[in-house]
Amino acid sequence: MSNRYLRQLSQISIINFAVFFLVLLILATVQNKQAPIVKRKVRQVTVPTIRDIFGELHMHNMRSDCWIALEGHIYNVSTYFGSHPGGDQELEKYCGKDATQAFQTQDDQGKDHSPDAYAQLQQFLIQ
């Protein structure tokens, strides 16, 4: 073997080693670049359930804090006093109670409230 041939073989070996080393280095770098794990404290938010709200209904039983239940929903009608066409007394006697039957029959008069009355309720909806 000639000197020239050994020199070329040596250069090729060095180049191959350098390429192999670079490939290993690149692979090691790529594997270490995983997405960092971020740890955060998450604040737990609780939403009151319908059961919780209905359980609280009876506590809102006065004119200044008047909730009524109608057809499975809760309404805060405290600000409606002074505006109820049937008078405040009719509204007040259902504070803290289910008023579905009374609302649908206008206190046993057999007449349901108007569609406008139902639409007006939406501004008082709690749940």
Torsion sign across C-alpha atoms 63, 122, 102, 96: negative
Predicted local confidence at residue 119, as pLDDT: 92
Compute mean pLDDT per 10 residues along the chain, 127 residues long, and list them.
Answer: 74 81 77 65 68 84 95 94 91 94 82 89 91
43 phi-psi bin (left φ>0, alpha ψ -120 to 50, beta other):
beta
> So what's the pLDDT on residue 14?
84
Residue-range domains of the chain with CATH: 50-124 (3.10.120.10)
Question: Tokens representing 111?
Answer: 């007449």
pTM (two decimals): 0.59
